[in-house]
Structure formats: structure tokens, C-alpha cells
Amino acid sequence: MDPDLGSWRLLSSEATFVDTGERIEHFGPKPEGLMMFTSGGRIMFLMAKSNRQPPTDDVERAASFNDMAAYTGLVRSGGPGRFITTVDLAWHPAWTGEQLRFYTINGDLLEIRTPQQTHPLFPGRLAVGELTWECEQLPQVR
């Protein structure tokens, strides 16, 4: 897989619902997020809405949980422009298992698209996710 090492900063995260064509920025207009690929074949994602505040009660804790996503697993090539992550730990249990992603690289930008899938925060609705990442750091060769 081409983007196999380094860290990437999230620039945008959008989803388009298949049933209506509605497009949303599920982490807001300025999302925060990091993605890391390791030389050992592991990938990690951590994404959230910006400016989240510490929760003070159960309602705010639930909202804070819904304003983020995180998962990690072993990654492998799924063919040209594709990778598959075997998710072994996720913020939401529904995201464990195999996750297929499509990608393109344009200079320092990595664009990742999901196939049509359901999302734990939008049960019963199919959506396609599109995330844009900027290369933050590539490992130093020693």
C-alpha cells in the first residue's frame, strides 16, 4: 500500500446519504483528527469535532462520544487504490472487523472514501464517507 508510513492530519470529513443525497460534515467544518500508518502494518484513526468541551453530565458525555470516532487495526492492500483494515479496537463495537477503503494520493493530500455502509451514529441509513488528509510527518530514514 502506498501511504504505508507516517502521520496524516484530517482536513475534512463528509458523508453523503445514499437515500437522499444529503451531504453532512459529521465532525463539523474544521474537524480534528490524526491517522498513523506504522511500519508494522498498523493503522490508527482518531477524529473529532473541534472545540469539544469537557462533559459535566451523562447527556454531555453521550454527545461527546458521538462527536468523535477512533479505531485501529492491521492494514493490508486490497488492490490498486484500496486498503482493508481488520479493526481490532474501535470507539464503537459495530466498527470491529473488516473495513474496506478506497484512496487516492495527490501530492501531500490523501483522499479516502468508504463504500456504501451504515454508520453507528446513523442506524439503518447507507452513506459514503469522504475524508481528506494532509501529510503531517513521514518517518526519518536512519
pLDDT for position 136: 87
pLDDT for position 139: 56
Q: How many CA atoms lie within 13 A of 94 on its CB side?
A: 9
Pick the CATH number of 6-137 from 1.10.3720.10, 3.90.1300.10, 2.40.128.490, 1.20.1340.10: 2.40.128.490
Rounded Cα distance, 74 and 24, in Å: 29
* Distances 78 to 2, 101, 110, 134, 140 between C-alpha atoms, Å: 12, 9, 17, 22, 27
pLDDT for position 138: 61
Measure the N-to-C terminal CA separation of the chain; round to a whole number of Å: 21
Q: Can you name the residues that pair with 33 across neighbouring β-strands?
A: 47
Per-residue pLDDT of the chain (142 residues; tens, 9 = 90+): 444 478 999 999 999 999 999 999 989 999 999 999 998 999 999 999 999 999 999 999 999 988 999 999 999 999 999 999 999 999 989 889 999 999 999 989 999 999 999 887 788 899 999 999 999 876 554 4
pLDDT for position 44: 96
**Residue 121 class from Cβ within 10 Å (0-12 exposed, 13-18 middle, 19+ buried)?**
middle
Grid cell, residue 128, equals 459514503
pLDDT for position 112: 96
pLDDT for position 2: 46
pTM for the model stands at 0.87
**b/e sequence 33-72, b meaning 16+ C-beta within 10 Å:** bebbbbeeeebbbbbbbeeeeeeeeeeeeeeeeebbbbbb
What ranges do the domains of the chain cover? Answer: 6-137
pLDDT for position 90: 95
